Amino acid sequence: MSRDAFKFSTADDRDLWVTSGGMCAKCKKVLILNDIEKKVSIGEKAHIIGKGTGKNAPRREFAKQYGFNSKNIDSIENIMLMCSGCHHVIDTNVENYPPDMLFEMKNKHEEWVMNRLSQNNKAIAVLYKRINSIPFDSVLLADEIGTLLLDAVSLQEEFTDFSPTGWEQAKKKNQEFFQLIVQTMREYTGAKLCIFPLSPIPLLIHLGKLISDTGPAIIYQYDRETQKWCLEDLSDKAEQQTIHVSQSDVVYDSLVVTIQVSGMIAEEEVKEAVDSPYQHLDLRIEKPRLNAVLYNHDLNAITKEFRKHVYALQDLNHYKDIHLFYYGPSGLAVELGRTINDSMLPEVHIYEHNRRGEKKYTRAITI
């Protein structure tokens, strides 16, 4: 493959990037990287049958055999999209990378890209991680979930200021991040969102509220035991969690909603946090515990029950505010946030679990 300059039309250039999925045909590395305030391309257009003469034209001696000459040597059929590393490896190891192998590599890669596009449609990764400082890698995520990600929007700064001012600043950062999501979706019309969340619960619910009107979104749940992202349980042993719903009889101006999935929320902890009388709606699975809910059939079922009961009670009793206490997985927190419609519900106060404070729960964010 030659690195000599060559003529390539804008249409052919775009066609090559689309059919290659913006990835290296050999190693599948994503070729557009996010740098400070801009995106950087590390992709190179590489000839299979080299252009030029001598060492600058690997495999040129096969040109006539494959029907290439000086007039059509720059045609898209003879060009692969690669990262610079793979480009160099193949050009300096010609004997182990003959034309047949490279043409087959190009065809298989482009077929792989088109199959993923047809099976999974177009997807944008939303990487939202505000717990500890180790970031997610969008390339590894794409490989793990088997989806072709056209682009990634990332907010991966650890959240450490749990003061009222810190929460307000985090809300503003969420809103700025949401605008980046919207901007990216405009660049890829019709793309669905693949959301990978791992952050403090109030921030997750607030983010879910912000993206509620963006259209289709697929929200993955992180399994801390296997360190894998979960969506569907394809095993024969998939069972849906039983959801228990209960409510107190006396009606007050405030409604407290407790959601118990990954653990229990004590009534005394709620009373410590809410200093006014309230009616209580409780949703819980049979045995709340960590990793009890990982797959979307359970997330959808719990979200449906939350939406049904909260909106029914609000229509009946017209509360002045709602207090939300949640003990569950990150993905479900985003899903619950997506159900909050501020034109139909009053202010929703979201509480953060505080393991070290005198009060176990403190009010963090109001939607």
Instruction: Name the pLDDT band for 356 (thresholds 50, 70, 90).
Output: low
Q: What is the pLDDT of residues 30-66, one digit of tens each?
A: 887 765 556 678 889 999 999 877 777 899 999 899 9
For the whole model, what pTM was predicted?
A: 0.69
* Lowest-confidence pick of 50-64, 67-81, 135-149: 135-149
Q: What is the pLDDT of residues 161-200, one digit of tens each?
A: 999 999 999 999 999 999 999 998 888 877 788 999 999 9
**What are the structural domains of the chain?**
10-118 (no CATH), 120-230 (3.40.50), 243-366 (3.40.50)
CA–CA distance, 244 with 260 (Å, rounded to integer): 10
Mean pLDDT in residue range 336-345: 94
- Judge whether 71 and 15 are in contact, CB under 8 Å: no
User: Of the ranges 17-21, 60-64, 228-232, which is most confident?
Assistant: 60-64
Given a cut of 70, whether residue 143 has pLDDT beyond it is no
Q: Residue 326, exposed/middle/buried by CB under 10 A (0-12, 13-18, 19+)?
A: buried
CA–CA distance, 329 with 231 (Å, rounded to integer): 13
- CA-wise closest residue to 228 among 194, 192, 196, 263: 196
Given a cut of 50, whether residue 2 has pLDDT beyond it is no
Given a cut of 70, whether residue 1 has pLDDT beyond it is no
- Judge whether 245 and 283 are in contact, CB under 8 Å: yes
201 phi, psi to nearest 5 deg: -55, -50
